[in-house]
């Protein structure tokens, strides 16, 4: 039996290598991670943008640099053109009376509209009230953008394995390979397990590479392993469902889209909904995978919690498998 | 030539119909409308939660409490805590939160902001600045600042959070659907040998590809009409919206044609299609944080596209963005369409 399972795996690998498919599956998430790692520093830099008249005093320009990204322009027309661009930028110059002037387009967000005025007022005030103001932090050095980005890439790596399994199955259905396999001594379970190996092995390799590139490997690596293995079961199940439900690649794409909408919704929901409403997402296995990885990367999780999250994922995946068991069995016939 | 083209379009529409393209587009649009209307709350905000604790009994207490009370009215995620430790416990649970502790120091209030630690200097400075401004504006005379708004009369009323997601749907589905679907259509015809059969007829390649793109545009128009009408009714500027969706659709579909031409089957292409889709959707970050727009966001055609779609749906009177985006997309889509013809010429000659 083991030999037959390994044969399915071997055949998949051979096919995939011949098509460069394995290479693509392997490098796509890594390329994305490298791209993303270039993008993180700029996320952490500027939060506001100012288009400042370069004829203003150096001191004034320096003051604005304390609060955001400063671009210098030497005429009011250039400042206006910049302010009229799609993104949010506040123009800063002096009017004919020599007083500071803030130039806005009219549709800026609250901060872009208000902060420049506060900066100017702060510079102009003579008798400032002396109140002791200070800033401390609780030591979370990882920005939410880096964190969410890393988890999204991990989720994608997990799903890519599944999606590839699904589209392989559709192709085999169309080329009647599955019918041929059905007359061999191989059972459906052996076929499923053989097919799934790649969907588990690949995400494991990916997750560690992704974390290494993003400099996030200072986490509990065993927890990462456990979470990756249980999460990859979601990917595999999705893959098989897409594979057996879809009669051709086009319905495959439709089903994949529907699945992606559900996966992204559970992640966006986990991000936007207050903790008290998270129960609305408990039914979605990707939700548990998301918060599992989130807490692992924040070093804010115990083995007990990993156990709870993993049980939810395993339980839900198993229930979904039971619901579609007949469909999967028929789809592979 | 026109007859030949129309014949091809008719054939593609029938193919699309048989393969449930139309049904699929309608189902995805309805699914999304359902999510907007029933799942996403109207007033979700990405502002951080604020936890505060006051351990100060001096003369400014009443004023400080009034200030917090005012903020509570404007911002729905401000919570009172009973100790500094409680604030820190709560902050550890949500990375998008800050804390504020007011204590007495030599009789005067001392305000400590507790941040997560990943915030940069500029964010910290802005936070302190707004606090200083808040307090100083009470005890000092208000200073009037000359503010010029270049576009007077822009209608900038707040769009409910759930409806605000519609432009992103229009970008990812009606506009971008061609990117992935056209690849599927091409691979199906490659398998069936339709392309090879077609090149020996008098039909020309640009017509063949244009007909595929036309089917994608029809699907895009159906999708955008269903979703937009069901979410905002007839308030949108549909003429501009359709122009933007059509031009964006030509760009996305010809890009799909280019990507598909490099691969033998859909499985191979799929990974790249998903990866490119992710790259093209990166600018959506700027949709939520408009002052965050690094150059590698703004060079992607999806960046102006999503703001133009928003302007067409929720008109603020800023129509210049629609014209400039339409012109830009026209140029980009002519280029991508031209490249797609070239790549197919090369690949068909090679095959």
Same domain, A85 and A170: no
Whole-angstrom distance, CA of residue B13 vs CA of residue B232: 29
On whether any CB of chain B is under 8 Å from the CB of A112, the answer is yes
Lowest mean pLDDT across B118-132, B250-264, B330-344: B118-132
Give Cβ neighbours of residue A66 (< 8 Å, ≥ 6 apart): B121, B122, B125
Q: What pLDDT does B107 receive?
A: 77
DSSP B113: E
Same domain, B120 and B22: no
Tokens 């076929």 found at: A191
* Range(s) of the domain holding residue B183: 1-40+160-349
Kindly state whether residue B145 falls inside one of the protein's structural domains: no
Same domain, A152 and A288: yes
On whether any CB of chain B is under 8 Å from the CB of A311, the answer is no
Whole-angstrom distance, CA of residue B62 vs CA of residue A302: 43
B145:A83 CB<8 A: no
In 3D space, the residue among B208, B223, B241 whose CA is nearest the CA of residue B176 turns out to be B223
Boundary-marking domain end, from B104, B138, B172 = B138
Q: Give the count of domains, chain B.
A: 2
- Crossing angle of helices B121-139 and A110-124, in 10° steps, is 60
Same domain, B186 and B269: yes
> Could you tell me the pTM of the whole model?
0.77
Q: Which residues of A touch B178 (CB under 8 A)?
A: none
ipTM of this model?
0.72
Whole-angstrom distance, CA of residue A265 vs CA of residue A270: 8
Q: What is the pLDDT of residues B115-143, one digit of tens each?
A: 888 888 888 888 888 888 887 777 777 78
Residue window 231-290, chain A: list those with CB within 8 Å of chain B: 248-254, 257-258, 261, 265, 272-275
Q: Give the count of domains, chain A.
A: 2
Q: What pLDDT does A130 receive?
A: 67
A134:B118 CB<8 A: no
Same domain, B246 and B121: no
In 3D space, the residue among B315, B339, B326, B164 whose CA is nearest the CA of residue B248 turns out to be B326
Kindly state whether residue A225 falls inside one of the protein's structural domains: yes
Whole-angstrom distance, CA of residue B169 vs CA of residue B45: 19
Integer-rounded Cα radius of gyration of chain A: 27
Q: Which residues of A touch B51 (CB under 8 A)?
A: none
Kindly state whether residue B154 falls inside one of the protein's structural domains: no
Same domain, A204 and A55: no
| Token pair for B168 | 């992103």
Same domain, B243 and B107: no
B136:A67 CB<8 A: no
On whether any CB of chain B is under 8 Å from the CB of A213, the answer is no
Nearest residue on chain B to A31, judged by CA atoms? Answer: B275
Q: What is the pLDDT of residues B24-41, one digit of tens each?
A: 889 889 988 988 888 777
* Range(s) of the domain holding residue A178: 1-40+143-332
B129:A122 CB<8 A: yes
Q: What is the pLDDT of residues A16-25, one digit of tens each?
A: 666 676 677 7
Same domain, B25 and B88: no
Q: What pLDDT does A25 receive?
A: 75
């Amino acid at each position: 039996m083991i030999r037959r399972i390994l044969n399915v795996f071997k055949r998949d690998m051979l096919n995939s290598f011949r098509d460069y498919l394995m290479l693509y599956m392997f490098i796509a998430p890594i390329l994305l991670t490298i791209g993303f790692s270039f993008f993180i520093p700029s996320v952490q830099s500027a939060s506001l943008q100012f288009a400042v008249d370069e004829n203003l005093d150096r001191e004034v320009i320096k003051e604005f640099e304390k609060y955001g990204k400063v671009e210098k322009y030497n005429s009011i027309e250039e400042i206006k053109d910049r302010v009229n661009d799609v993104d949010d930028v506040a123009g800063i110059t002096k009017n004919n009376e020599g007083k500071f002037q803030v130039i806005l387009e009219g549709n800026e967000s609250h901060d872009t509209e208000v902060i420049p005025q506060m900066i100017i007022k702060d510079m102009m005030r003579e008798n400032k009230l002396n109140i002791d103001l200070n800033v401390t932090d609780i030591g979370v050095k990882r920005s939410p953008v880096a964190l969410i980005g890393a988890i999204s890439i991990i989720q994608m790596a997990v799903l890519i394995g599944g999606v590839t399994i699904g589209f392989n199955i559709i192709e085999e259905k169309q080329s009647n390979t599955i019918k041929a396999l059905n007359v061999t001594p191989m059972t459906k379970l052996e076929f499923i397990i053989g097919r799934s190996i790649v969907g588990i092995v690949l995400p494991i390799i990916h997750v560690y590479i992704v974390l290494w590139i993003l400099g996030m490997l200072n986490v509990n690596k065993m927890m990462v392993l456990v979470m990756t293995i249980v999460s990859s079961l979601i990917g595999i199940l999705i893959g098989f469902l897409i594979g057996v439900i879809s009669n051709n690649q086009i319905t495959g794409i439709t089903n994949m889209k529907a699945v992606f909408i559900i996966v992204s919704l559970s992640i966006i929901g986990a991000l936007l909904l207050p903790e008290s409403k998270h129960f609305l997402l408990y039914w979605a296995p990707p939700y548990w995978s998301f918060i599992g990885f989130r807490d692992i990367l924040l070093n804010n999780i115990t083995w007990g919690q990993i156990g709870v999250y993993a049980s939810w994922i395993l339980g839900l995946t198993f229930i979904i498998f039971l619901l579609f068991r007949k469909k999967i069995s028929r789809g592979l016939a | 030539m026109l007859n030949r083209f129309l014949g091809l379009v008719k054939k593609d529409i029938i193919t699309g119909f048989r393969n449930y393209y139309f049904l699929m587009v309608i189902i995805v649009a309805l699914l999304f409308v359902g999510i907007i209307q029933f799942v996403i709350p109207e007033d979700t905000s990405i502002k951080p939660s604020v936890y505060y604790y006051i351990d100060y009994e001096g003369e400014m207490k009443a004023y400080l409490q009034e200030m917090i009370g005012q903020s509570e009215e404007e911002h729905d995620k401000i919570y009172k805590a009973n100790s500094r430790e409680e604030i820190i416990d709560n902050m550890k649970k949500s990375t998008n939160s800050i804390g504020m502790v007011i204590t007495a120091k030599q009789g005067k209030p001392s305000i400590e902001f507790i941040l997560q630690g990943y915030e940069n200097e500029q964010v910290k400075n802005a936070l302190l600045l707004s606090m200083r401004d808040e307090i100083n504006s009470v005890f000092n005379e208000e200073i009037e600042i000359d503010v010029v708004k270049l576009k007077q009369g822009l209608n900038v009323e707040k769009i409910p959070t759930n409806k605000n997601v519609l432009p992103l749907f229009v970008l990812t589905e009606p506009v971008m659907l061609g990117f992935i679907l056209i690849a599927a259509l091409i691979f199906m015809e490659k398998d069936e040998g339709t392309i090879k059969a077609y090149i020996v007829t008098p039909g020309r390649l640009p017509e063949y590809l244009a007909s595929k793109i036309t089917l994608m545009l029809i699907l895009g128009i159906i999708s955008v009409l269903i979703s937009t009408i069901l979410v905002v009714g007839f308030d949108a500027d549909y003429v501009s919206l359709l122009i933007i969706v059509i031009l964006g659709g030509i760009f996305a579909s010809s890009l799909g044609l280019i990507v598909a031409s490099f691969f033998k089957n859909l499985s191979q292409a799929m990974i790249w299609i998903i990866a490119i889709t992710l790259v093209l959707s990166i600018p959506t970050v700027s949709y939520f944080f408009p002052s965050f727009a690094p150059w590698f966001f703004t060079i992607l055609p999806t960046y102006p596209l999503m703001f133009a779609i928003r302007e067409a749906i929720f008109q603020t009177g800023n129509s210049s963005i629609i014209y400039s985006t339409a012109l830009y997309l026209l140029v980009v889509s002519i280029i991508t369409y031209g490249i797609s013809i070239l790549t197919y010429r090369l690949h068909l000659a090679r095959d």
